[in-house]
């Protein structure tokens, strides 16, 4: 026996048909747009060996230290419910040997991610991302094209009012200089930091830039990596920014943007939206040129992004632009006598043969109740089957909008219904 009052776990949600239509529309628009750029879908398992993430994301990142759903399976392996997509895709990319074939590989993915966070608006324990990854180009233009896909997806959803923030972390050598630079700038102010921030400063100074502490924010505000990044990296970044301008993609340089994971190099970006409040990031991404090699593959450059779909829906709701529910069955097949139900089932099948959505009455109940049901489902037409129709060899159809009722002959009812539904 189950205990009573079973509920979904905190931070997870059920998506009912009233919302799943909107989800499906977002998903199909994103798919369509990704295809326009030559991206094809990859589906990886939701569960992976823990090492896929612990190595890739960085052992000091919040996702790894605090948020991974990690456990030992029955075989004693340490496994993780994926907290993000990129590391799994890189694992799959290497496992398939794609790192050895060279050439451009463009992949997109969609699906649930899991992070053990404190649930609040826009922060779920199971949430959904749409993401894209491009492997095999080091060109700054590949950064721009990745951002262009992201922008076109947001546009296809009718999402307005977002802002693209962008920064560069340079090469791994630049990164070590950045870390030293942050330490050097902040060490004299150590006494003002909390123990947690001191630990960050010691272990991974980039993480301190995410601190919400006002003192820390003021001190960090004075830091600009471009002082220590090599000229070549700055030129590369400049080319990205100039090309974004050329493509009419608006952006804002944010010298403190570092993103939460350790694998990024060169360009990093984030899309924020004011409707999201404290959790204002809709999505983000960047280059990760060292990750394929870092995970045991042949060195392969890469760039990608991920968008959080729950947050997209929050922003669309604020804009009153959530895609409308459009899917309603077109036809309801009602029966005046339960003996007619088997014929009703066949009639509904004939409609579906013609790709017309149809539902059929399955119960012994009054016609009025069936019409109520048809109304509730939003059916445009009701077909009524009864003894009279059988005798006269006709099909009665009622248009629920105009309330008009007509009789169609058995010979042409189906063709006429197809025309009516199309109108
Ligand atoms: P991240 O890789 O952490 O930057 O995540 C990319 C995007 O996924 C974010 O910008 C959010 O839109 C979304 N996201 C990340 N974590 C959560 C979460 N716990 N709940 C809902 N959405 C999330």
Q: pLDDT (tens digit, 9 = 90+) per residue, 339-358?
A: 999 999 999 999 999 999 99
- Ligand 1 geometric centre to CA of 190 (Å): 31
3-state secondary structure of 13: coil
CB 76 within 8 A of CB 278: no
Could you identify the atom of ligand 1 that is nearest to the CA of residue 84? 2
3-state secondary structure of 276: helix
Mutate to test the pocket of ligand 1, among 129, 260, 278 (most ligand atoms within 8 A of CB): 129
Could you identify the atom of ligand 1 that is nearest to the CA of residue 124? 20
Q: Is the CB of 271 under 6 A from ligand 1?
A: no
- Whose alpha carbon is nearest atom 4 of ligand 1? 284
Which pLDDT does position 326 carry in this prediction?
Answer: 66
- Ligand 1 geometric centre to CA of 278 (Å): 13
The full length of the chain comes to 423
- Ligand 1 geometric centre to CA of 324 (Å): 25
- Whose alpha carbon is nearest atom 9 of ligand 1? 283
Q: Is the CB of 123 under 6 A from ligand 1?
A: yes
Q: Is the CB of 83 under 6 A from ligand 1?
A: no
Which pLDDT does position 300 carry in this prediction?
Answer: 97
Which pLDDT does position 65 carry in this prediction?
Answer: 85
Which pLDDT does position 196 carry in this prediction?
Answer: 82
Which pLDDT does position 411 carry in this prediction?
Answer: 92
How are the residues of the chain apportioned to helix, strand and coil, as percentages rounded to the nearest 5? 45, 20, 35
User: Cα-atom radius of gyration of the chain, to the nearest Å?
Assistant: 28
Q: Which tokens is 234 given?
A: 């700055």
- Apex CA 328: angle with CA 357 and CA 368, to 5°? 90
Which pLDDT does position 242 carry in this prediction?
Answer: 98
Among candidates 105, 125, 99, 128, which has minimal Cα distance to 41?
105
3-state secondary structure of 153: helix
- Ligand 1 geometric centre to CA of 308 (Å): 5
Say which DSSP state 162 is in: -
Other C-beta atoms closer than 10 Å to the C-beta of 242 total: 12
Query: What whole-number distance in Å separates Cα of residue 260 and Cα of residue 208?
Result: 11
- Ligand 1 geometric centre to CA of 157 (Å): 18
Query: What is the per-residue pLDDT across 301-334, written as a single tens digit (0 to 9) for each?
Result: 999 999 999 999 999 999 999 988 767 789 999 9
- Whose alpha carbon is nearest atom 15 of ligand 1? 308
- Ligand 1 geometric centre to CA of 125 (Å): 10
- Whose alpha carbon is nearest atom 12 of ligand 1? 308
* pLDDT < 50 stretches in the chain: none
- Ligand 1 geometric centre to CA of 283 (Å): 7
């Amino acid at each position: 026996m189950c205990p009573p009052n079973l509920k979904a776990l905190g931070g997870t949600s059920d998506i009912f048909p009233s919302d799943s239509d909107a989800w499906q529309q977002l998903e199909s628009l994103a798919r369509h747009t990704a295809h326009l750029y030559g991206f094809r879908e990859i589906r990886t398992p939701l569960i992976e060996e823990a090492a896929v993430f612990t190595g890739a994301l960085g052992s000091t990142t919040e996702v790894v230290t605090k948020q991974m759903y990690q456990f030992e399976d029955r075989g004693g392996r340490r496994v993780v419910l994926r907290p993000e997509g990129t590391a799994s895709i890189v694992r799959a990319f290497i496992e398939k040997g794609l790192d050895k074939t060279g050439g451009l590989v463009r992949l997109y993915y969609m699906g649930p991610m899991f992070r053990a966070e404190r649930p609040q608006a826009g922060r779920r324990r199971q949430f959904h991302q749409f993401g894209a990854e491009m492997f095999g180009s080091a060109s700054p233009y590949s950064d721009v094209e990745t951002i262009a896909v992201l922008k076109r997806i947001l546009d296809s959803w009718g999402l307005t009012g977002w802002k693209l923030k962008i920064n560069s972390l340079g090469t791994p050598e630049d990164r070590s200089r950045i870390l030293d630079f942050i330490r050097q700038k902040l060490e004299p102010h150590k006494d003002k930091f909390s123990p947690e921030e001191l630990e960050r400063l010691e272990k991974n100074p980039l993480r301190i830039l995410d601190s919400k502490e006002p003192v820390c924010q003021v001190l960090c505000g004075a830091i600009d990596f471009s002082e220590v990044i090599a000229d070549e990296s700055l030129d590369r970044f400049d080319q990205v920014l100039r090309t974004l301008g050329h493509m009419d993609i608006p952006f804002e340089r944010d010298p403190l943007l570092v993103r939460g994971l350790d694998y990024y190099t060169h360009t990093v970006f984030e899309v924020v939206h004011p409707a999201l409040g404290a959790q204002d990031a809709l999505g983000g991404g960047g280059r990760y040129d060292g990750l394929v090699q870092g995970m045991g593959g042949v060195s392969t450059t890469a760039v990608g992004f991920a968008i959080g779909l729950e947050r997209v829906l929050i922003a669309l709701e604020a804009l009153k632009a959530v895609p409308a529910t459009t899917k309603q069955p077109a036809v309801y097949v009602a029966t005046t006598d339960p003996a007619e139900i088997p014929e009703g089932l066949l009639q509904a099948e004939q409609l579906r043969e013609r790709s017309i959505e149809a539902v059929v009455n399955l119960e012994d109940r009054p016609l009025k109740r069936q019409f109520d049901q048809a109304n509730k489902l939003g059916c445009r037409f009701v077909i009524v089957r009864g003894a009279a129709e059988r005798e006269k060899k006709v099909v009665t159809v009622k248009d629920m909008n105009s309330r008009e009722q007509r009789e169609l002959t058995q010979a042409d009812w189906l063709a006429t219904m197809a025309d009516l539904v199309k109108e």
